[in-house]
Amino acid sequence: MMSLDFICQHPQVVREALERRRESYNIDEILRLAEQRRGLITRTDGLYTTLKGVREEVRNTSGEKRAGLNKQIKAIMREIRQLELQVSDADTRLRLLIQTLPNLPQHAVRDDTDVELRRWGESAAFQFQPLAHWELGERLGILDPTSAAQVAGSRFMTLRGYGARLERALLSFMLDLHTCEAEYIEVIPPFLAKRSVMLGAGQLPKFEEQAYACTMDELYLNPTAEVALVGMHTDSILMREELPLRYAAWTTAFRREAGSASRYQRGLLRLHQFNKVELFQFTTPEQSYSAHEQMLLHAEQVLRLLELPYRVVELCALNLPFAASRSFDLEVWLPSLQDYIEVSSISNCESFQAIRANIKYRPQNGTRAEYVHTLNGSGLAVGRTMAAILELNQQADGSVVIPKVLRPYMGTALIGPVKR
């Protein structure tokens, strides 16, 4: 979230940056309310000064004059209370308005064209007609959308046998890689979050309709581990020597995914419930830009070890996630779509989430605390990664070869067709 001071001091900078996102964000109401709030505070401060003088006069007065001064004090106090209520109302309205504003794009981010930065790997040409992963998975008996629909409705998936084991293998492999080689701290956070935590991470109010809410308890099912990782340090001041603080968290993510493209609604591509390993860092402002490039390489390493062809795309301002100031997408090749699909979005949010969640660090002992920078990225989304493994490693007989790095976790090198 942007600070009110920044918006008021640099309104044109904010307007121009928001225009780059091509959405209608009007800050005039924020500026008007801020000016009104300043006027109310000035009047309140003036009344407190008057009140102090009248109280001083009361101490030096007696008799009927004191009674009159006491009436004056009560009148001033009533007016102060009314003004303070108006200030509180203006604060609430300002906060609600500012919470709807997205992060400002970094200057280096292009306005309206994503840029492909590089590609890695090549998909081998099939000497047979390959199957989409949802067809392949059902034939292998590892993906079962029918039973999932009986339990929870559409856009859920039951994993069976080697399908369940492959999911577990991917989670374990990713967590081992990130914690042992890149020295992230492994975290399994709560799968439910308070509204205040969702607000701090930038999920609300923007994505209210996409979230699953437990209204009786005022809790939300996590749409991403990013929410819980921000929430772990809400209203805290970190020590300078703690930074960068790196977390690798596994959670099941829950999203309504309303209005998603129909071509992604089959198989494992856009489910309401899916597993994901999330990479997250808290850094100082000067560390965050190199940390962003570093996190991208950490996520890329997963795809390289799995030998999955992919590309790296830098998102333009038009396509940036709500909380991000700069983002890279990792997209893996999927033969069934003849296209690349996103398996990770690695974002630098700068101080946007830290301001919303009030997370600071102290550069040195005795110095003023400053806001940290936060960065997040999938390392990776497990379902889509599994879809790519199935499609890219399928054989003519309907079997699937398991990537070498997963075989110790799987206990097999091949998933074969189900015998009927």
Residues at the annotated binding site?
A: 224-226, 255-257, 278, 342-345, 376, 378
Catalytic residue at 154?
no
Catalytic residue at 384?
yes
Residue of 339, 329, 333, 335 lying closest to 380 (CA atoms): 329
Give the helix/strand (H/E) hosting 67.
helix 64-99
Phi and psi, residue 304, nearest 5°: -65, -40
3-state secondary structure at position 370:
strand
Q: On the CB side of 339, how many CA atoms lie within 13 Å of its CA?
A: 6
Query: What is the β-pairing status of strands 115-120 and 310-314?
Result: antiparallel
Residue ranges of E strands in 167-226: 185-187, 192-194, 213-214, 219-221
Catalytic residue at 270?
yes
Give the helix/strand (H/E) hosting 296.
helix 288-305
The C-alpha torsion from 293 through 294 and 296 to 298, rounded to 10°, is 170
Known binding residues for ATP: 255-257, 342-345
Q: Which of 342, 362, 370, 407 is catalytic?
A: 342
Count other C-beta atoms under 10 Å from residue 16's C-beta. 11
Q: Which of 255, 325, 327, 356 is catalytic?
A: 255
Q: Which of 37, 270, 326, 356 is catalytic?
A: 270
Catalytic residue at 345?
yes
Task: Give the largest Cα separation in the chain, rounded.
Answer: 107
Known binding residues for L-serine: 224-226, 255, 278, 376, 378
Active site residues: 255, 270, 342, 345, 384
